[in-house]
Structure 1
């Protein structure tokens, strides 16, 4: 029986000892739209009291709550951090125009500049919503530096070149090919606003003249001026443009338009019995390929062929140095590959009575972290701050505040140990009452972070004894 009693006692003591050991935690749980540091994910176990920090996932931003959870006797506290999909919001006001949004201004979507009548967009006419906000050059609607598209007038020969675009003030003159007559102005001028004035003319057929010319050509076996379909991306070689007739058996050749290369077929046509053989030449836009690689950024393309553009966009925390847009021209991409440089923050402010960990001799770039550790007192505020994508620190510097509590005033109460005039944060004392008094309230009090004793001061009340009757 005595042996059984000892066994029960031993088992009870063992259970109490086991219960006194805090339980460890397994890996912290996953939450939607959040991520944990790689080192945290690789760790197997966590001790009670350990803290881990969550970040918002890519393209999401924190809106409220704390980033940390704590292991508490085998269970993780609940994460209060809330992450919402990042939106760039309103792109602002566009002078002499307005913005048209592709969606709800979420990351990856575009906003386009639409200029008012009489104005034209200078440079790229859109911006892209990225994690750092609207990126790219802010569009400008202005008068006087616009361009006019190449005028397309079928069955005509132009003087003024075959440019891809014309500047304000440039003029183009038209001459119709044989068998066609001009309907409209012979000369047009590129005006502000990107419009030709007067409007481009037309080359209309001359039925009677064409018939007579055909009969004349049939008699001699020769041919008139060969016509080219406007979709061929090729033109008759310059040495033939001024000629109006060709002998039977005579050959002419074509050249691809600027920015185009021969992709197959013969460039020659032959006059045979009054008719030109079909043009089999195939001209395709020149390929520019990649506009280059940007460290900490990327190009967004309208395409990689002649006439297309590539616009540079930097990653979050980086700013563009150089021209954002490159154009695919007949000799390749113009300009140079721009550079994305890391955003820099000023030197972090020093805090009295604090040690700074993470100081750097040179600049503080995006995501640089500085930790504060108090020599004296306790830390009020964030113990770590980091350089944000805006070139500012994530929070104001903390303070190292020395917290003291006055000597507790408990009438008829006393405590052992030093009777200091001031006690420091986390100092703990046990209070007892003088003989003949009994204590009500806490017997152990601690100097709190607010300079007050916690959980409060006790009271010493006199004991009442009943008088015994004989």
Structure 2
């Protein structure tokens, strides 16, 4: 609302306001009814209801005096392949930096920053970023899919190959990464072997491969019903320290069968109707028979068994021997005895038969040859008189084992001591 000066009143004058970073300008001397305009310093803009004010009859400005506040630049301009640092306000004097996107690098000597000027515009933003370049890979004895270029841009992919006689060690493909390197790393060409030889009616374990570096191994197999003759595997190796070749000649696939093994009185495992090359057999004999030869044999490439097939022979017991004893049976002169043969022992004069417990026995003892080649328990021949001593010792030992009271054992020991002294006296009188 416009305030008019009442008639008959003296002309009023408005004060000159103090405005930071600005001032009022007017054609009059700020008298009542005059108008003034707010002018802000460069970099500042008016803040308030308006920039034009009127001096009222009572010496006041209407509307109220505005202020000058720092100005702001608009959103920063786009820069190719770069993004500005995130900010909400762009006051005059603000410096804003750009960073290059992945796969791009800053151009040397070019500042990545722009400034909000006093005219509320941004300083010029030149071209800041350039695409990352990877160096051209060098592969001795090989090449890349796009040779001849000094550099390759970010994201570009190359494929690698090697000269004949060399194999690629590493990845067949690599891509220029954001840091200017190749990912995966550039491979290299190593000396290698040609594809391994093929065989009739069989194949090796890597039929689809064309590259075989040093140390590679392939295994051969034959069609069903055929046997592999020769080395099952070949390895890529070096014989002269320079060139690479396969470790030997390729095997063959042939029909190989060994004759059916026959073992009288024995068993052959596994039980089968055919006996191809490489089959391993195991042999065992029936009770009472012993295996003469190797317990296993394998079918060879020439159709023979190795080691030779064994036989089952009757088990024999060696002639039994008892110190200070002799055989008195009719079979006493033989060196070997068949299973179930029986022999009879007697002791030499001055000796007496005893069992394991050292107990005196009759004048003869019978032993039988068992099917496993051993004899039933053999007797012992002890000097006459020693058997009595051993019998006493055996008796004392039994007393300990049976839990006889200690006092009674002491009495037995005293008796044994007296017994031994009597035997000693008898021997001295005899001498």
Whether the TM-score (by the shorter chain) exceeds 0.5 is: no
- In terms of fraction of residues, the more strand-rich structure is 1
- Which structure has the larger Rg? 2
For normalisation by structure 1, the TM-score amounts to 0.37
| TM-score, L = length of structure 2 | 0.40
